[in-house]
Amino acid sequence: MGDLASAIGIRAQEEAAIVAELKAGSEEAYAWLIGEFQQPVYGLVYRMVNDPADAADTTQDVFLKVFRGMRHFHGESSLKTWIYRIALHEAANRRRWWFRHKAKETSIEPAESESSGAAENAMQTALTDRADSPFDSVAHREVQKRVEEELRKLTEPYRTTLILRDLEEMSYEEIAEVLEISLGTVKSRLTRGRDALRHRLTPYVREVGEELGLIAPSSEDCKSDCKEDRLQVAGGGRRAEVMP
């Protein structure tokens, strides 16, 4: 316990030193900040807005807010928590703007573009098996795409909580701090969100299960496997994890 407290204390001191450099306008500190957080922030924002161009624009807005607001950061939370809170706020604003304006436009661009490949890589692999045949790989990509589609349809605040926990792999404590809610609320939202996503996915798995070699989780499976962090799907004689 003493070693852990010491390590935490060292990290806090290091962060305090970095924050001091940022407030002093150090170019090296800002370069470090961008290198440390740009990709994680982009990945988080993309999962919220689901458009590579919008995600890139929003990420720029996030760092502008971070740079301008650094003098108001007094260490009430960790630097990561503060930045993620700004990112979620900007992503939510972008989604509201999109639904008011951009959703009414008709795009002449192809539905799929090469630029979407990098953004899709930000999503964690939906199935954990790495030794797939070509057919398995196609099937897994199809399942992953469906998981992502259904995740986007979840209502807030369950969607954001699932993204932070199961894709960003943040701890319960970090999520509570970012969203400014209690640990109990975090766990409740995760339970409800995973249950909602599971109900959305089960009919699909049952529909295509025979073709893709998937097995929908039974009620008995859900008593043990589905109550925790992952949804379970079995295929090809092996069990794979479908992450919300």
CB atoms within 10 A of CB 168: 17
Report, as ranges of residue numbers, the positions in the chain whose pLDDT lies below 70: 1-10, 98-139, 209-244
The pLDDT value given to residue 192: 94
* Alpha-carbon distances of 117 from 48, 95, 217, 224, rounded to whole Å: 17, 21, 30, 35
All structural domains of the chain with their residue ranges: 1-103+110-120, 123-244
pLDDT digits 0-9 by tens, 158-187: 999 999 998 888 999 999 999 999 999 999
Q: Residue 123 has what pLDDT? A: 39
Helix boundaries (H) for the chain? 2-23, 27-49, 52-69, 79-100, 116-120, 134-153, 158-162, 172-179, 183-212, 219-224
Nearest Cα to 145, choosing from 54, 242, 48?
A: 242
Note the pLDDT of residue 45: 93
Q: At what angle do helices 27-49 and 79-100 cross, to 10 degrees?
A: 40
pLDDT for 237: 41
Q: How many CB atoms are located within 10 Å of the residue 33 CB? A: 21
CATH C-level class of 123-244: mainly alpha
pLDDT at residue number 188:
95
Architecture of domain 1-103+110-120: Orthogonal Bundle (1.10)
Predicted pLDDT at 148 = 81
The order of strands in the sheet holding 214-215 is 214-215, 231-235, 238-242
Q: What is the DSSP letter of 122?
A: T
How far is the C-alpha of 242 from the C-alpha of 146, rounded, in Å? 11
pLDDT of residue 240: 40
pLDDT at residue 119, rounded to an integer: 40
Structure confidence at residue 135 (pLDDT): 55
231-235 and 238-242 beta bridge pairing:
antiparallel
First-to-last alpha carbon distance for the chain, in angstroms, is: 34
